[in-house]
Amino acid sequence: MPKKPKKTYLISACLLGLATRYDGSHSCSPRLRRFCRRYRLIPVCPEQLGGLPTPRYPAEIRGGDGSAVLQGKAIVVDKTGADRTTQFICGAIGALQLADLFQVDGAILKSGSPSCGVGSIRDGSFSGCHRSGDGVAAALLKGHGIPVYSELKLPPEIISRRQSSLKKRRSPG
Ligand code: SF4
């Protein structure tokens, strides 16, 4: 019987341990790295794709969320006050191109980021406070019908598979 093709997800590169974060670090999730064996994970860093260097100044969305940025109603600024909106939009478009190219089943993105955040992002004050909303890349992917998840809320098939393997391990057999 032919093997079922693996589900394919775009994933924030920093979650796989790549040093793409603004300060040159990563947000490695050992649990997600293990999923590489079972799923096809396509790493992407929208901020690097948009042409920003690493390391770079941290950035936040001012005046709204990622959807507002895409509508021209909010901007992305870095900590020096420089407008980085263009780079963030270019990076989001690059992520969408990859999603199309690989015909992904969804995207697993890093929570809280002005690019990748899903459902909650920093509020633009650089004070550590959050507001509801998505980052720019997450908003663009969602707007094109791509299911978007985070490392805190994984795709349902990954969660159910994990739960059944945990059950198997716990059962005395
Ligand atoms: S833009 Fe996304 S992938 Fe790149 S460092 Fe930030 S959270 Fe990670």
Measure the CA–CA gap between 37 and 20, rounded to whole angstroms.
22
**pTM across the whole model:** 0.92
Q: Which domain holds residue 139?
A: 8-170
How many independent structural domains does the chain possess? 1
Assess if residue 85 is contained within a domain.
yes
Asked if residue 1 belongs to a domain, the reply is: no
141 lines ligand 1 (CB under 6 A): no
53 band by pLDDT with thresholds 50, 70 and 90: very high
Tens digits of residue pLDDT in 115-156: 999 999 999 999 999 999 999 999 999 999 999 999 999 999
**Axis crossing angle, helix 136-143 with helix 85-101, rounded to the nearest 10:** 40
For the segment 12-50, what is each residue's pLDDT rounded down to a tens digit? 999 999 999 999 999 999 989 998 889 999 999 999 999
111 lines ligand 1 (CB under 6 A): no
